[in-house]
Structure 1
């Protein structure tokens, strides 16, 4: 699937926290206050610009690196879409090309990886996307179900989920940085009564702790939106297939197993994963099947 919470919850959160720590250390060691955002008075405009730079940097880096990270972390065997070598490769390329045309998308890269039943899509844009399926999924499902899963992944690409998730994560990160610095300033100046020109330990400790705590709360918001968009990708698969039945069958088959979690950089865009918590990137199989039963697909046969 078009993975957007993997590289945007774990990788993104890691990059975000890393940048926050680095910039906070720079402040503390070199006495650089980035304007007056942590001195005796707060310049909220300067602070907000700083928060946006830090907040969106991790998201944008994750977006741009998403395809490369997926290839490296999953050990993908990439298929030459112009010259597939095996019957399985030819089948996958033909299915992806046909479904991409139905969805009005350029031909994405296609890959296979060894692993438990799952699939994902990723990439920075519709014209630079990647769709991959596991050998476990190919062995588990019949052709119609595999095609439904691929249609689901292409729906993520068509819906622009990667960019949307990047923007959402960037906004969440921005407010995490903004709020943590404001609260850190209040703790430092109003509670601990620091009168020095430079921010005190209360500012640094409070900001860093809140970066982490608020960051996890923000990831819950992102995960909730990820669950929401899974319903749309399921509906998109039904539209491409011309029926809800293949997608329902694929989900029900997945519901009978416990697939391994995908790595963080592709976790949010798999066909399955992370169910049962506030950090879950996917709704339950039961909820997705119920939603599909109510969906009126647009390409009905």
Structure 2
């Protein structure tokens, strides 16, 4: 859990800091006049910073996932092995059933983990990738359920909604951290106010980022339940349940080196503290599908 929180905070701080430096150079962050803070200007500044970071991350999400995971994209028009052809055919068939106008890219990444993910900036520019470990350890019905789950993520527009939520959270993090830092700076000597304000922004931004991550992780868990239901509609409830049961049998085979991409995958590994977990407990996901 600590590693995931650290990566979340570090990523947000780096993105927000880079954008803030650029805006500072452009003179966009002048929200303090004398001893007064201009809330309207600060809110605009916070929204620009917060949503810019989120949309930049969304725009490069497919490219970044390919690079970080070493995904080999399958060319559907090229010479394919039997298992590559079968994988592409399954994803395309499920995508058509989900009503997608353009077929996602399909890829495989070399890893012993039993997992898969979907990402991309839009439904028309999406990617479904599976691990070699999943193809080696799951039967056809389980693979079908996993692919249906990932296609459901794309059809639900989960990448965009996650981006919008992250933008809102980033906006509040920037906005509230600066108000709190300004309030603290008013309590010290004027000669130290600027330094205290700068340091307080960092401290409060980290603290509010941790609180904000609780909301993001809660939504991540919700969208997993939603994608499970979508996967059941596409592949059949029995196959979706069988896929989750297969994942549960291989719950230890999750690559923790890609914790930053955990929210994209179908399985989050071992059960962790719920507030900071990207995925619900697999037993609970199976229980809900049985009750569907």
Confirm or deny a common fold (TM above 0.5).
yes
| Matches for 1:59-138 after TM superposition, within 5 Å | 59-105=54-100, 106-115=102-111, 116-138=113-135
Deviation at 1:27, TM superposition (A): 9.7
Question: Which ranges of structure 2 fall in alignment gaps of 5 or more residues?
Answer: none
In 2, the alpha carbon distance for the partners of 1:159 and 1:217 equals 26
Whether 1:163 and 2:133 are equivalent positions in the alignment is: no
In 1, the alpha carbon distance for the partners of 2:56 and 2:259 equals 15
Contact 2:28/2:45 (<8 A) preserved: no
- The one-character-per-residue Cα deviations of 1:42-78 (angstroms, maximum 9, x if unpaired) are 1001101111111112211110010001110111111
In 2, the alpha carbon distance for the partners of 1:236 and 1:271 equals 13
In structure 2, the CA distance between the partners of 1:226 and 1:45, relative to structure 1 (3 Å rule), is same
In structure 2, the CA distance between the partners of 1:96 and 1:151, relative to structure 1 (3 Å rule), is same
- The one-character-per-residue Cα deviations of 1:139-195 (angstroms, maximum 9, x if unpaired) are 111101101100000000000000000000010010000000000000001x2253x
Deviation at 1:244, TM superposition (A): 1.1
Given candidates 175, 199, 202, the residue that maps to 1:205 is 199
Whether 1:247 and 2:243 are equivalent positions in the alignment is: no
Deviation at 1:136, TM superposition (A): 0.5
Root-mean-square deviation (CA, aligned residues, Å) is 2.5
Deviation at 1:202, TM superposition (A): 1.6
Count of equivalent residues: 282
Deviation at 1:253, TM superposition (A): 1.5
Which residue is 1:5 aligned to? none
In 1, the alpha carbon distance for the partners of 2:58 and 2:7 equals 10
Q: Which of 129-138 and 74-83 deviates more?
A: 74-83
Deviation at 1:33, TM superposition (A): 8.1
TM-score when normalising by structure 1: 0.87
Which residue is 1:192 aligned to? 188
In 2, the alpha carbon distance for the partners of 1:100 and 1:110 equals 11
SS in 2 for 1:47: helix
Question: Which ranges of structure 1 fall in alignment gaps of 5 or more residues?
Answer: 1-7, 296-301
Q: Which of 17-26 and 247-256 deviates more?
A: 17-26
- The one-character-per-residue Cα deviations of 1:95-146 (angstroms, maximum 9, x if unpaired) are 0111011001121100011111100010000000000111111111110110
Whether 1:224 and 2:226 are equivalent positions in the alignment is: no
Given candidates 259, 279, 293, the residue that maps to 2:290 is 293
TM-score when normalising by structure 2: 0.89
Larger relative helix fraction: 2
Given candidates 255, 263, 271, the residue that maps to 1:268 is 263
Which residue is 1:214 aligned to? 208
Deviation at 1:267, TM superposition (A): 1.6
Whether 1:53 and 2:48 are equivalent positions in the alignment is: yes
